[in-house]
Amino acid sequence: MLAVEARTRLGDLDLGAAFEVGDSECLALAGPSGAGKTSLLRVAAGLLRPSRGTVRCGSQTWLDTERGIDLPPDRRRVGFLFQDYALFGHLSAWRNVAYGIAGVTRAERRSRAHQLLERFGLADRADARPATLSGGERQRVALARAVAREPELLLLDEPLSALDASTRARSSRALTELIGDAGVPAVIVTHDFEEAALLADRIAVIAAGSVVQTGTATELAAAPGSTFVADLTGAVVMTGAARARGDLTVVELEGGGSVTSTDSATGPVAVTVHPWEISLEPEDSDQAGSARNRIDVRVTSVTTVGNRVRVGLMGPQPMVAELTTPGAAGLALSPGTRAVAAFKATATRLVAR
Amino acid sequence: MSRGAAFTGALVLALAVVLAFLTLPLVAIFLDVGPGDLVASLDDPGSVDALLLSVEVTAIALIVIVALGTPAAWLLATRSFPGRSVAITLVELPLVVPPAVAGIGLLAALGPQGLLGDALEQAGVELVFQTAGVVVALVFVASPFYVRQALAAFTALDPSLIEASRTLGAGDVRTFLRVALPGARAGLVAGGALAWGRALGEFGATLVFAGSLTGVTQTAPLAIYERFSADFTGALALSAVLVAASGAILLAVKPAGGSRVLGDARG
Amino acid sequence: MTGRVGRVRAALTAVIAVFALAAAGCGDSDDSGGSSKPRLTVSAAASLKKAFTAYGGDFSGARARFSFAGSDELAAQIRKGVRPDVFAAANVKLPDQLYREGKVERPVVFAGNRLVLAVPAKSPRVRSLGDLRQEGVKLAVGSASVPVGSYTREVLGRLPPTQSKAILGNVRSNEPDVGGVVGKLSQGAADAGFVYVTDVVATRGRVKAVELPKSLQPSVRYGAAVVKGAKQPKQAKRFIDGLLTGKGLETMDGAGFEPPPR
């Protein structure tokens, strides 16, 4: 169990945040760069001392500014994965891993390091220098090194951001397994909501130095507490004015058109919809009767990402729809095509502005 | 494209002038005396004494410089404290002090009538006219060469490496020994080579502070100076050996230190 | 700008830079009379420093520039092609050698000096020549090839062998010029040294002199000559003449040098 609370000024940023993470639980600190997420990680590790704050891990107090307690990083059992991995270039892979293992004979250290590398699939690269390893291999060595010490806390700074797309997928699976096996709290810092969704059990959105909203990925996506969170989760965000109509709410969008939502709100609102909840219909189709919002749009871009197709749209405001490849194929989409974007009122979220 | 060629041409010309200017005196030394004379002159026991003494005192001086200078540079690189920039300037001061002035200063500080003269006498330490005095003079003039390089090398270390070491349970000492030193090795070796070269060629401070006596304080440069008037061939021979030794030192540290071409992407 | 012009400009700039460097290195050669006084370059023994500098200040007709070092080193430079206008040494041997080698005009003797045993004024450990043979005495002398050093060895050669051996065993430094010996004495680093009496005078009390018995005193004579190929031969001759009869003689006398032998 990890409890962190920190209040300090970093340059222009006023950092003031608190969070808790249970054993075997993974919390992601998600947000844009400069929001203070890495600083919070460093506070937990002992690399940054806040003006006020506490860090408690398990039964130990690692930091308590009020009581003058501040354990240096080498006395806290953390496993820290740095964004650039920070591997020691003059040591081979297994020596890097062995660096943090203490209290055993040299032979034992060596064998444990090799075992760990084997577990990470790097047994044959044990003697290689970091400079000769690929990005993915270096990440795995850094991870092995971090857990070699059997830490009580895992701290991972942007663990996947330096990897290419194919490695990222493999790595995230391995990472999830690792965190589950370790049985200790884990905190991940990321600027990518999808990464957070993949790896973490809960996500704390950090903006401008404070926690803005906490929840599971689904909760955040389904009910973003602010346009910022909505934007972070990758939702389409449109602005307009809302008024009630019976059980529903009608929002007049800026730029023209209106949508209906099952949420209730009045006044200036942000309308958020997820791209995968938007379907496209040919321009002249007219299906009355379903409780769906329909907006006339023009296609601005068509991008294939993996097995999905992201379609950039321009209506009264910009939008993005995400379709399956077969689904998109049937529509003959290309920039300039006119279509209708349709999404359910139940999928339309409203956030007060 | 043409501007580029003209610029490159000017650069090449500048390098050519620099190389010519620096190598001409050295080449002249080797050309001015026949190899037979060279070897015959080196048979002179005074010359051999001078060379051996130079090797001995520069090696001792280097050990002292590295032993004291490395931790000093590490402190300067990793801690900010009031007076830090003053400390750095003081360390660099001997660089701009003429060697003879350095010798005078050493006399004024450590000579029998100097500030610490009585203390040294009571401790039974004799420096003037002694080999130990030569080492002191060498340490004084050569340490800035090492400390500056070491400071630059430590400052250039990736801070996340130091932090990683700390998060892996290594304290200050272990981090310094196992991460900082190996990481800064290239700069430290380069600094050591520079300091050694400077010490090898040191003349003014040694002469003024320690004197010149064969086998005791007459290092190779002092011996060369003494031979200049009476035995020019001997001076040439000794000079040639000194140049060759300095060149060998620089070459020897090249692999350990190494220098990159700007923009050369290497792991 | 076309490529050709650009290249020419760069080349010209580089050439000008090189010439500027070279020009900075060369002194100006013949000053064609009129407004500026010619420059006179004098290579002189270290023991002449104070006296010559004062004389140079009074010397009309040219601006004297001095290079003071051991006379042997200055002679070696002249042999290697360095050409001052005047060469003044602390012996006559070196000027005579150079004259025989055709490097200088006929030398003249312009002064004499006395070799003395010098000791630090403050609590000297050595008070007489006899004290020099004591164990642990730190003696500084000139190196064998510099005049003061060869005079010293002359003196020691006139002593009984056991005494001279013991004294030589106490030599802790062979300085390249007399200035080095004086410096060590002034700082109390050496217990004793052999220098000229004029050097002792110049320290203004920091160093004391112990006169040597007449029987041991070597004949210290200073010789000067105009260097062949000098740029200012006339001024050089005037400078040397002044040492024999004019301002120079006065200054040398004031510094403690003995007059040239008749």
Query: What pLDDT is stored for residue C28 in this prediction?
Result: 47
Q: In chain A, which ranges are continuous DSSP H helix?
A: 37-45, 93-98, 106-119, 135-148, 165-182, 193-199, 217-222, 227-232, 325-329
Query: Angle at Cα C182 formed by Cα C178 and Cα C183, nearest 5°?
Result: 115
Mean pLDDT throughout B142-147?
96
Query: Contact C37/C62 with Cβ under 8 angstroms?
Result: yes
- Chain A residues inside the 8 Å CB shell of B185: 90
Residue B141 falls within a domain, yes or no? yes
Flag whether pLDDT at B240 surpasses 60.
Answer: yes
Q: List the single residue in B9, B217, B218 with the smallest CB-CB distance to C7.
A: B9
Q: Closest chain C residue to B211 measured between Cα atoms?
A: C173
Which residues touch A243 (CB under 8 Å, ≥6 apart)?
A: A249, A250, A252, A266
Higher per-residue pLDDT: C111 or B35: C111
pLDDT confidence bin for B148, thresholds 50/70/90: very high
What are the distances in angstroms from CA B2 to CA A197, B11, C1, C16? 55, 14, 9, 21
The helix-helix angle for B45-78 and B131-155 (nearest 10°) equals 40
**Do A272 and A347 have their domain in common?**
yes
CA distance B113 to B120: 10
Is residue B86 left, alpha or beta, with left meaning phi > 0 and alpha meaning psi from -120 to 50? Answer: alpha
**Do A172 and A217 have their domain in common?**
yes
**Do A33 and A113 have their domain in common?**
yes
Flag whether pLDDT at B84 surpasses 50.
Answer: yes
Q: CB-side exposure of A327: number of CA atoms within 13 Å?
A: 15
Query: What pLDDT is stored for residue B27 in this prediction?
Result: 84
Tell me the per-residue pLDDT of A239-263, one tens digit each, with 9 for 90 and over. 889 898 888 889 998 888 889 888 8
Domain boundary among the residues A197, A222, A247 is at A222
CA distance A224 to B34: 89
Lowest mean pLDDT among A84-88, A118-122, B25-29: B25-29
- Mean pLDDT, chain B, whole residue set: 88
Mean pLDDT throughout A163-179?
82
**Do A210 and A303 have their domain in common?**
no
Higher per-residue pLDDT: A163 or B56: B56
Query: What pLDDT is stored for residue B236 in this prediction?
Result: 85
Residue B14 falls within a domain, yes or no? no
Query: What pLDDT is stored for residue C15 in this prediction?
Result: 63
**Do A13 and A143 have their domain in common?**
yes
CA distance B138 to B201: 9
B80 to chain C, any CB pair closer than 8 A? The answer is: no
Query: Contact C219/C155 with Cβ under 8 angstroms?
Result: no
CA distance C132 to C162: 12
Q: Which of C14, C134, A222 is nearest to B9 (CA)?
A: C14
pLDDT confidence bin for A310, thresholds 50/70/90: confident
Distance to chain B for A207, nearest Cα, Å: 24
CA distance B150 to B56: 23
Tell me the per-residue pLDDT of C10-59, one tens digit each, with 9 for 90 and over. 566 666 666 555 555 444 444 444 457 889 999 999 999 999 999 999 89
B107 to chain C, any CB pair closer than 8 A? The answer is: yes
Residue B75: how many CB atoms within 10 A of its CB?
14
A180 to chain B, any CB pair closer than 8 A? The answer is: no
Residue C223: how many CB atoms within 10 A of its CB?
25
Q: Where are the beta strands (DSSP E) in C2-103?
A: 39-45, 63-69, 86-89
Flag whether pLDDT at A91 surpasses 80.
Answer: yes
CA distance B62 to B141: 11
**Domain C115-211 belongs to what architecture?**
3-Layer(aba) Sandwich (3.40)
**Do A25 and A53 have their domain in common?**
yes
Dihedral pair phi/psi, residue B130, rounded to 5°: -115, 155
CA distance C83 to C89: 15
Burial of residue A11, with CB atoms counted within 10 A of its CB: 0-12 exposed, 13-18 middle, 19 or more buried: exposed
**Do A11 and A94 have their domain in common?**
yes
B250-265 b/e with 16+ CB inside 10 Å = b?
eeebeeebeeeeeeee
Query: What pLDDT is stored for residue B146 in this prediction?
Result: 96
- Chain B residues inside the 8 Å CB shell of A145: 168
Domain boundary among the residues A194, A222, A250 is at A222
Q: In chain C, list all ranges with CATH 3.40.190.10.
A: 39-112+221-254, 115-211
Flag whether pLDDT at B249 surpasses 60.
Answer: yes
What are the distances in angstroms from CA A78 to CA A178, A238, B165, C199, C256? 15, 43, 12, 74, 83
Query: What pLDDT is stored for residue A349 in this prediction?
Result: 85
A112 to chain B, any CB pair closer than 8 A? The answer is: no
Top-level CATH class of C39-112+221-254? alpha beta
What CATH number corresponds to the domain at position A244? 2.40.50.100
Number of domains in chain B: 1
Contact C145 B229 (CB under 8 A): yes
Mean pLDDT throughout B73-102?
92
Type of residue numbered C233: P
Residue B240 falls within a domain, yes or no? yes
Indicate the pTM of the whole model. Answer: 0.80
Whether complex ipTM tops 0.85: no
Chains B and C touch (3+ CB pairs under 8 A): yes
Higher per-residue pLDDT: C61 or B264: C61
pLDDT confidence bin for B257, thresholds 50/70/90: low
Contact A102 B169 (CB under 8 A): yes
Query: What pLDDT is stored for residue B261 in this prediction?
Result: 59
DSSP secondary structure string, chain B? -HHHHHHHHHHHHHHHHHHHHHHHHHHHHHHHS-HHHHHHHHTSHHHHHHHHHHHHHHHHHHHHHHHHHHHHHHHHHH---TTHHHHHHHHHHHHHS-HHHHHHHHHHHHSTTSTTHHHHHHTT---TTSHHHHHHHHHHHHHHHHHHHHHHHHHTS-HHHHHHHHHTT--HHHHIIIIIHHHTHHHHHHHHHHHHHHHHH--HHHHHHH---TTTT--HHHHHHHHHHH-HHHHHHHHHHHHHHHHHHHHHHHHHH--PPTT----
B261 to chain C, any CB pair closer than 8 A? The answer is: no
Query: What pLDDT is stored for residue B12 in this prediction?
Result: 94
**Do A247 and A116 have their domain in common?**
no
Higher per-residue pLDDT: A85 or B249: A85
Mean pLDDT throughout A160-179?
83
Query: What pLDDT is stored for residue C31 in this prediction?
Result: 44
Domain boundary among the residues A222, A257, A285 is at A222
CA distance B188 to C170: 42
Query: What pLDDT is stored for residue A289 in this prediction?
Result: 54
Chosen from A41, A43, A81, A99 to mutate, greatest number of chain B CBs within 10 A: A99
Query: Contact A141/A134 with Cβ under 8 angstroms?
Result: no
Strands A78-81 and C39-45: unpaired
Tokens of B79: 């801690």
Flag whether pLDDT at B262 surpasses 80.
Answer: no
**Do A112 and A185 have their domain in common?**
yes
pLDDT confidence bin for B256, thresholds 50/70/90: low
Tell me the per-residue pLDDT of C194-226, one tens digit each, with 9 for 90 and over. 999 999 998 989 999 999 999 999 999 999 999
Query: Angle at Cα C45 formed by Cα C168 and Cα C138, nearest 5°?
Result: 25
Burial of residue C48, with CB atoms counted within 10 A of its CB: 0-12 exposed, 13-18 middle, 19 or more buried: buried
Query: What pLDDT is stored for residue A183 in this prediction?
Result: 87
Tell me the per-residue pLDDT of B176-196, one tens digit each, with 9 for 90 and over. 999 999 999 999 999 999 999
Residue A45 falls within a domain, yes or no? yes
Tell me the per-residue pLDDT of C162-178, one tens digit each, with 9 for 90 and over. 999 999 999 999 999 99
**Do A214 and A240 have their domain in common?**
no
Q: Closest chain A residue to B179 measured between Cα atoms?
A: A88
Higher per-residue pLDDT: A206 or B36: A206
Q: Which of C211, C187, C181 is nearest to C199 (CA)?
A: C181
- Mean pLDDT, chain C, whole residue set: 87
What CATH number corresponds to the domain at position A172? 3.40.50.300
Query: Contact A122/A146 with Cβ under 8 angstroms?
Result: no
Query: What pLDDT is stored for residue B229 in this prediction?
Result: 80
pLDDT confidence bin for A309, thresholds 50/70/90: confident
Contact C145 B218 (CB under 8 A): no
Query: What pLDDT is stored for residue C34 in this prediction?
Result: 47
Q: In terms of residue numbers, what domain contains A190?
A: 2-222
Number of domains in chain A: 2
Tell me the per-residue pLDDT of C78-134, one tens digit each, with 9 for 90 and over. 998 899 999 999 999 999 999 999 999 999 999 999 999 999 998 788 999 999 989
What CATH number corresponds to the domain at position B110? 1.10.3720.10
Residue A157 falls within a domain, yes or no? yes
Q: In terms of residue numbers, what domain contains B111?
A: 35-253
Query: What pLDDT is stored for residue C30 in this prediction?
Result: 46
Of all residues in chain A, what percent carry a pLDDT higher than 70? 98
Flag whether pLDDT at B75 surpasses 60.
Answer: yes
Residue A230 falls within a domain, yes or no? no
